[in-house]
Structure 1
Amino acid sequence: MASVAAGYLPILLFVAVALLLSTAFVVLPMIVSRLTGAANPYPDKLAEYECGFPAFEDSRSQFDVRFYLIAILFIVFDLEAAFLYPWAVSLGAIGFGGWLAMMIFLAELTLGFVYAWKKGALDWE
């Protein structure tokens, strides 16, 4: 019975250290910010510092939907490139079936790209 409990001792030690470190990483920055005055905002601290002048409009204004469409197209074609490299490396091993599957995949992506292009998703004004 004692040997079974001793087997769990490293796991319990690991969990205790993990809890201690995670608590320290959460609590210590809050304590330091209270002691250094970082939690005491005043107008100079709240001023715009990224661009140097006040914003023209509300910072929560909505983006144009074309921005999201181009972002999605970028992700799709980035994933396509990620699939092409291992396919090209293993082309000799996967044979004609693997080649045909990739050609169907590329044809579907090409059709989707042409559709988005014809719908005007890539036009920017």
Structure 2
Amino acid sequence: MATVAAGYLPILLFLGVALVLSAVFVFLPMVVARMTGAHQPHPDKLSEYECGFPAFEDSRGQFDVRFYLVAILFIIFDLEAAFLFPWAVSLGEIGWVGWAAMMVFLAELIIGYIYVWKKGALEWE
């Protein structure tokens, strides 16, 4: 029975150290802020610092779904460019099979782009 408990001792030590360190990293900055006076609100601390003027509306307002569609399309075509660079560098080594695979990949992306364009996802009103 003692050997089974001894097998769990490193795990319990690791868990204990992790809990202590996480508590220190969470609560120590709060204690230091209270002791140094950094927690006291002041109008200058609460003023807008990024754009220089107050927000027009609530910062938790909802975005139009088209914003997310355009963002996803950007990521897709950005990844396409990320795939094109290594393909272009290794084209001499991968030969015609690699070239054909990339042409199939690009054809699929072009078909998807045409589909999105026809659906009107790129129109911003």
Q: TM-score, normalised by structure 2?
A: 0.71
Mapped partners of 2:94, 2:50: distance in 1: 52
Partner residue in 2 for 1:102: 102
1:66-77 matches, cutoff 5 A: 66-77=66-77
- SS of residue matched to 1:76: helix
Aligned-partner SS, 1:56: coil
Query: Which whole-Å deviations, capped at 9, do the CAs of 1:67-115 have from their partners, x for residues lacking one?
Result: 1111111111111111111111111222221111110100011111111
User: Which residue pairs with 2:35 in the alignment?
Assistant: 35
- Long gaps (5+) in structure 1: 1-14
User: How far off is 1:44 after superposition?
Assistant: 4.5
Identity in percent: 73
Q: Structure 1, residues 13-33: CA drift from partner, whole Å, max 9, x if none?
A: xx7xx9587665444422321
SS of 1:49's equivalent in the other structure is: coil
Q: Is 1:114 matched up with 2:114? A: yes
- Name the structure where helix makes up a greater proportion of residues: 2
CA–CA distance in structure 1, aligned partners of residues 66 and 32 of structure 2: 44
Q: 2:42, 2:88 → 1: CA distance?
A: 58
**Aligned counterpart, 1:54:** 54
Could you tell me how far apart the structure 2 residues matched to 1:71 and 1:53 are?
27
**Amino acid aligned to 2:75:** I
Amino acid at match of 1:70: V
Whole-angstrom distance in 1 between the partners of 2:105 and 2:73: 15
State the TM-score, normalized to the length of structure 1.
Answer: 0.71
- RMSD of aligned alpha carbons: 2.7
Partner in structure 2 of residue 45 of structure 1: 45
Q: Which moved more, 1:18-27 or 1:39-48?
A: 18-27
Which whole-Å CA distance do the structure 2 matches of 1:85 and 1:48 have between them? 42
Which whole-Å CA distance do the structure 2 matches of 1:106 and 1:81 have between them? 10
